[in-house]
Structure 1
Amino acid sequence: MAMKSYVGALLLLLSFSSSINAQVFNVATYGAKGDGSSDISQALLSAWKEACASTTPAKVLIPGGTFALTEVALDGPCKAPVEFELQGTLKAPADPSLFKTDGWVVFQRIDGLTMSGGGTFDGQGKTAWGQNDCAKNTNCRTLPTNLRFNFVTNALIHDVTTLDSKYFQVNVLGAKNMTFQNFHVNAPADSINTDGIHIGRSDGVNILDSDIKTGDDCVSLGDGSRQITVKGVTCGPGHGISVGSLGKYENEEPVEGVFVTNCTIIGADNGVRIKTWPASKPGTASDMHFEDIQMDNVLNPVILDQGYCPFNQCKAGVPSLIKISKVSFKKIRGTSASQVAVKVLCSQSVPCQEVEIADIDLVYNGPEGPATSECANVKPVLSGKLNPAACAKPHIPTKVKISDVSFRDIRGTSATPLAEKLGCGRGVPCQKLELADINLRYNGRNGAATSQCANVKPTITGKSSLPLCVGLRS
């Protein structure tokens, strides 16, 4: 941890020195107009090209105003550190068919990048969310991500906002020594597959003192994520801070060294989560620690799920082959929106090893009774106060097959944000289930009414007031 603090300080020093001595390349000088409609792509590419070629630190400046921008790739390597200062708002084309690639603004192969300025990357994703059919179509088209960082080294991203991306808000691939600080993500709870910050095959990424509101995982860590720190993050709405899902593809790299501390999760579908696919390819995930987390009305505050199978797109009855070890959940407190506040459901083929659960205090005030926990294929080390009692209730997979069910013309108000939940069995998914004309409202402080489904592909008809079966996605 001391090394990570040193790295953070070094990056801040890099940002400070670059700002003082940098030659400024203002996109307005290259013809950019902040009128909200004139495309500035060529102006930005020209400014970037010259800044990247500078032998001394350089800054690309987008001043105040609203600027239209089609997809751009800002490539390195550069000859000296470069700062990207966004003071205004960049707006993406609203129509996803105008994109040729899966990235809107892409930074790649850069050593020494700083991003700052207080500005906003507005992905205008609302239209695209309705076109996202990935829950039903395994060959769906990948929509563009607001910000992609490919093979970026020694970077500091701070004091900017990503808004309403069509797909992931931020995707980090192949990064080394990269920090997000005072970074802001904003999208509604019903935005589909809008992970806040997704990290894969990267070493030494820090997410510090940031707030993430979105429709999917606030932070998601894919394979090859190593030495990742998430500290001081406020998450919600969203699907929590997640490792995975893992094991879906061949040749996935190990996950090693994940430290999630001092975070607050509000009104999210999940809190802290590790998820692997059943019938997975072999792999490992180890040295993962979640500590000092505040939960506020979170549906699944603590969940380790090695049978993660959204929309039945897997062989649910075949155990995962991802070996999970050296995991700790400590000092996690607050309120749960469901009775089962702690789930640690490991693989029957490769049971979890060296799992520690300590000082858990999660309260549930629903009609079913106090909070409970479930465990499978794990023998955790327990210490401190444990509320609920950890691993007190064995997890027994359902063997009851449910079919020919319909929910039609259901209306009124819900007392919780989760107005519709269909949780079918992994081994025996629900069949022939229909949802029609579901009109339920939630007027609380945690956003609009939402739904959650697992192991079911319902037929959806009519007009509904909330997005149905969008609650469990990758």
Structure 2
Amino acid sequence: MATSDLKYSREATGSYLTKVTELIWGGIAKNRDRFESIKDEPLRGSILILGLALLSCVADGALRRHIGLSHRRGLIDGGGAEVTVFDVTQHGAKADDHTDNAEAFIQTWRAACDSGVPAKLVIPVGTFLTGPVVFQGPCKSTEPIVFEVQGNVKATSDLSEYSSGQWILFEIIDGLTLNGGGAFDGQGGAVWKYNDCHQNKQCQPLPSSIKLSKVKNCDIHEISSFDSKYFHMHVTDCSNIWVHDVNFTAPANSPNTDGIHISNSDSVNVTSSQIGTGDDCISIGQGSTNILVSQVFCGPGHGISVGSLGKYNNEEDVSGILVTNCTLLNTTNGLRIKTYAASQPSQALNITFKDITMDSVKNPIIIDQKYGSRESEPSRVKISNVHYQNIKGTSTSDVAVSFLCSSLVPCEAVELVDIDLAYIGLKNMTLSGSCLNAKVTSGGTQNPACS
């Protein structure tokens, strides 16, 4: 706050308090006879104390309004601490579906993040248009900052405004809660036609809707994202992230609209959510460790994938992946591991897919180590210790289990236990499995068996 603004705030506050003081003492003066007739000294003292208490409350509220410290107080967080609320409309945001609110959002964030008190930023009910915006930490409070979206945050559709790869960026924050029951509208339908990545390897990706970068200890729940221009959510260089009870949607033919893409992150948990997109519901990229995906309903989309891996040099290994208790409906793939041919060496290991239901899924179980490439040189991504357990449902393709592993570094320690899939395709075909360059062990039901 500028010195002139602070001076004005003090002067205005002082003037306001003077008037309040005059009213309190004026009230006593008008009733002086009654006041002095009170013989009970403790009672007279109590009246004076009540007046001073009122003055103190007014002073606190007036001062906070003038210096902009808070907009509402009195909320209590889960730990019992009082939370200060920072409402974007009090920093100039307008829910008129026309005004670009990026500056107002940033001002509100800075006020909340720099306040040093337990803080909650609120985007209230209404439609708030905004271009790209960065919510950057670190924040000064030791308590997690809450970002509560009650309304609809709508992206601008002019791609020239997006100089980086995301629309909403949260970065360098330790302790963040994103919730509120509201939605992020990426306006992807207006720009998907400009996505040529399917034919141009040097394409410029469209901006993702929400990106977390260098964020720790984050809880995201009860939000929606629809029609993202690119990924709905990208989690990178993060740790201890919980995403649950979210709903991410885009049409089945929308390009590269992955629900959640994870890379270079540890301890990311995605649970109890519905994701239906034009690409992977969840994609687990390079450098991802200790990832849990549980109770996710996926469809439409390209399934739940580890990869793609091996596209870039010096990629870090992927390990400790558990996908369990999920349902996939009308997806083009089910449980997939995908790596590029002619890649640099890396590993994908210790991966478990367990208790999965497939409903009309094409390619229910697939390892593809020639993904996205016609290169004859094999992949150098080593896949090992992969477990498929209790995978049931229906397949629209006659090859329900397909392992196309690298001839240079074959897949090792791949386990198939209790696989029970039925063919419901249009052709009169027998369900089969194909396992190339893979060392597979099996147990329990094998329908289809790997050959």
TM-score range with shorter-chain normalisation? 0.7 to 0.9
Q: Residue 399 of structure 2 is aligned with which of 322, 329, 340?
A: 340
Q: Residue 330 of structure 1 is aligned with which of 382, 385, 389?
A: 389
Residue 364 of structure 1 corresponds to 423
Task: Summarize deviations over 1:152-176 as a string: whole Å, max 9, x none.
Answer: 0000000001111111111111010
Q: Does 1:30 align with 2:88?
A: no
Alpha-carbon shift at residue 16 of structure 1 (Å): 4.9
The answer to whether the 8 Å contact 2:132/2:161 transfers is: no
Q: Does 1:56 align with 2:122?
A: no
Q: What is the CA–CA distance in structure 2 between the aligned matches of 1:260 and 1:347, rounded to whole Å? A: 23
Q: What is the CA–CA distance in structure 1 between the aligned matches of 2:202 and 2:191, rounded to whole Å? A: 16
The answer to whether the 8 Å contact 1:105/1:147 transfers is: yes
How many residues of Structure 1 are paired with residues of Structure 2 in the alignment? 373
* Aligned CA distance change for structure 1 residues 178 and 84 (closer, same or farther; 3 Å): same
Residue 6 of structure 1 corresponds to none
Task: Summarize deviations over 1:54-107 as a string: whole Å, max 9, x none.
Answer: 222110000000011111000001112210000000110123233222110100
Q: Residue 235 of structure 2 is aligned with which of 169, 172, 175?
A: 172
Q: Residue 361 of structure 2 is aligned with which of 277, 293, 298?
A: 298
Residue 44 of structure 2 corresponds to none
Q: Does 1:107 align with 2:107?
A: no
* Aligned CA distance change for structure 1 residues 363 and 201 (closer, same or farther; 3 Å): same
Helix, strand or coil at the partner of 2:89? helix
Q: What is the CA–CA distance in structure 1 between the aligned matches of 2:84 and 2:187, rounded to whole Å? A: 32
The answer to whether the 8 Å contact 2:101/2:129 transfers is: yes
Task: Summarize deviations over 1:103-160 as a string: whole Å, max 9, x none.
Answer: 1010000000000000000000012111111111122112111000001000000000
Q: What is the CA–CA distance in structure 2 between the aligned matches of 1:317 and 1:161, rounded to whole Å? A: 42
**Greater relative contact order (CA < 8 Å, ≥ 6 in sequence):** 1
Superposition pairs of residues 403-418 of structure 1, within 5 angstroms: none
Q: What is the CA–CA distance in structure 2 between the aligned matches of 1:373 and 1:356, rounded to whole Å? A: 14
The answer to whether the 8 Å contact 2:360/2:424 transfers is: no
Residue 78 of structure 1 corresponds to 139
Residue 452 of structure 1 corresponds to none
Task: Summarize deviations over 1:4-42 as a string: whole Å, max 9, x none.
Answer: xxxxxxxxxxx9527962210000111111111112111
Q: What is the CA–CA distance in structure 2 between the aligned matches of 1:128 and 1:119, rounded to whole Å? A: 23
* TM-score between both structures, scaled by the size of structure 2: 0.81
The answer to whether the 8 Å contact 1:306/1:320 transfers is: yes
Task: Summarize deviations over 1:218-247 as a string: whole Å, max 9, x none.
Answer: 000110000000000000000000000111
Superposition pairs of residues 44-443 of structure 1, within 5 angstroms: 44-80=105-141, 81-309=144-372, 314-366=373-425, 367-389=427-449, 391-392=450-451
The answer to whether the 8 Å contact 1:18/1:57 transfers is: no
Which structure is larger by alpha-carbon Rg, 1 or 2?
A: 2
Runs of 4+ in 1 over 4 A off after TM superposition: none
Residue 418 of structure 1 corresponds to none
The answer to whether the 8 Å contact 1:19/1:59 transfers is: no
Q: What is the CA–CA distance in structure 2 between the aligned matches of 1:171 and 1:223, rounded to whole Å? A: 13
Task: Summarize deviations over 1:302-333 as a string: whole Å, max 9, x none.
Answer: 10111112xxxx35211111111110011111
Structure 1: state its 5+ residue gaps.
1-14, 393-474
* Aligned CA distance change for structure 1 residues 226 and 334 (closer, same or farther; 3 Å): same
Helix, strand or coil at the partner of 2:97? strand
The answer to whether the 8 Å contact 1:339/1:368 transfers is: no
Helix, strand or coil at the partner of 1:35? coil
Residue identity in the other structure for 1:143: L
Q: What is the CA–CA distance in structure 2 between the aligned matches of 1:281 and 1:127, rounded to whole Å? A: 37
Q: What is the CA–CA distance in structure 1 between the aligned matches of 2:444 and 2:81, rounded to whole Å? A: 50
Q: What is the CA–CA distance in structure 2 between the aligned matches of 1:140 and 1:378, rounded to whole Å? A: 34
The answer to whether the 8 Å contact 2:81/2:118 transfers is: no
Helix, strand or coil at the partner of 2:191? helix
Structure 2: state its 5+ residue gaps.
1-75
Task: Summarize deviations over 1:394-449 as a string: whole Å, max 9, x none.
Answer: xxxxxxxxxxxxxxxxxxxxxxxxxxxxxxxxxxxxxxxxxxxxxxxxxxxxxxxx
Q: What is the CA–CA distance in structure 2 between the aligned matches of 1:296 and 1:235, rounded to whole Å? A: 10
Alpha-carbon shift at residue 183 of structure 1 (Å): 1.1
The answer to whether the 8 Å contact 1:279/1:315 transfers is: no
